[in-house]
Amino acid sequence: MGVSWIKVIHKFPKTDEKTHFDLIQNGWIQLKEPKTLLITILASIPLMVINTLISLGVIHIFSDITFSEFGFTAGSFAITIRFDALIGILLTLVIHELIHLLFIPNFMKSKKTFIGLTFFGGYVYTEEEISKTRYIVISMAPFIILSIFLPYMKFARTLVTLVMR
């Protein structure tokens, strides 16, 4: 049994026109995607706000972290950029994309699944056939794991520590 490696790429793959045509002929429906990066960013702002509010709500409910640790104080908001925080953001980006990758069936054996990093961010790309339900799971997994499950686990660990005292 040979060793499989995850393929890392640094630019978005080109569309294979023949494969695209074959898929459309076989009844596949292409996802509608924004035409430009600017439209993509503008369209994602409401989702970013909703995800931020959900994450902050979960953190507030299940953790002892305060909003002042995020820079919110009475009547003001401050941002401090630290080098270790930038490294943490990059590490979180990599973990986020690896979580997407882990939910793609047989990603280690696939010759059509890639992980990429560009100036605009990271991504996982696959040409494997996946169901709509699997696509939704793959899309939501990093948010559920990193923004809901991990803060909840911190709360559970704190609760167990308090009970065991």
Residue range 103-127, pLDDT digits in tens: 999 888 888 888 887 777 788 988 8
d(CA 49, CA 53): 6
Q: Which residue has the tokens 């609760």?
A: 159
Q: Which of 69, 131, 144 is nearest to 104 (CA)?
A: 131
The half-sphere exposure of 45 on its side-chain side, counting CA atoms within 13 A, is 6
Q: What is the pLDDT of residues 17-63, one digit of tens each?
A: 888 888 889 888 887 888 887 898 899 999 989 988 888 787 778 77
Amino acid 141: pLDDT: 94
Pairing of β 113-118 and β 76-77: unpaired
Amino acid at 10: H
Q: Please give the radius of gyration of the chain, using alpha carbons only, rounded to the nearest integer.
A: 20
Classify residue 107 by its DSSP letter.
T
Q: Where are the domains of the chain?
A: 7-164
